[in-house]
Amino acid sequence: MKTNFYKLTIMVGLCVFCFILMFNGNKFSARTNIEDLQQIANSVEQADGTIIEWSLYAREAVQDLDVDQYILQYPEMEWTVREDSVIGILNTDTYNETIQIMNNQQKDTPFISYELTGTDWDEATGMQASKIASLRMNTLFNGEPNLFSCIKGEFNNSIDEFTNHVMQSLQAKEIESIKEHKFRSISAYSSLFTQTLPLRDQQMNVQLGLRNNDLGNGTTFVIGTPILTIEY
């Protein structure tokens, strides 16, 4: 079990390392990540899964920061000002928004990130999320930010059955994986998504994590592109 844990740690570390290289180099050639999220949601529905959490995340490096400008631009948010960061939060009954401005110039390149999260997902939610995210991103970012889409949920079928359904629905080819009876961690490539990361001389843009619940009542899954941004 420890060996598999170390393998998983190495795999995740490689993905994060690749993300850092991409973040500081060329940006992703990204579509609207709402479309990516809908693709994942469709695959979950076809596999008889239930969505309990979804997340859209965008991040962009910046050269010059005017923190006061952002605070004045979004007065509806509750702002927290710290020494090296400023965080704005807006929570509603259907979604949560977070804007984070990091400005630790001694260690990292300043960046702005935006996250939109929710619980239930359907066509109406997707349309609302698209409008909200588009409005924020058009005013927050100057270029093409790095985009991430992620869905968390549960299912009652076997891990193999659910995984096969999702992989087929996403037209995904497995690149690397750790597989146990009650656990899966899969990195794959799908032509449905345009963002990619290098992994072992290949390209990946989909990650799946699945784990049987301790009490035996179903299995928790997380599916993300190009990497997971929600814990499972």
Q: Give the range among 21-35, 43-57, 108-122, 123-137 with minimum mean pLDDT.
A: 21-35
pTM: predicted TM-score of the whole model, two decimal places: 0.82
Structural domains for the chain: 2-225 (3.30.2030.10)
Query: Residue 161 corresponds to which tokens in the numbers above?
Result: 């059955």
Q: What is the β-pairing status of strands 172-179 and 197-199?
A: unpaired
pLDDT at 146 over 50: yes
- Give the 3-state secondary structure of residue 93: coil
Q: Do the beta carbons of residue 90 and residue 96 sit within 8 Å?
A: yes
Q: What are the start-end ranges of the H helices in 25-122?
A: 33-46, 67-73
pLDDT at 102 over 50: yes
Measure the CA–CA gap between 53 and 55, rounded to whole angstroms. 7
Residue 215 belongs to what H/E stretch?
A: none
The residues, ordered by sequence, that sit 6+ positions from 11 with a Cβ below 8 Å of its Cβ are 176, 178, 185, 187
> Which pLDDT does position 31 carry in this prediction?
41
pLDDT at 83 over 90: no
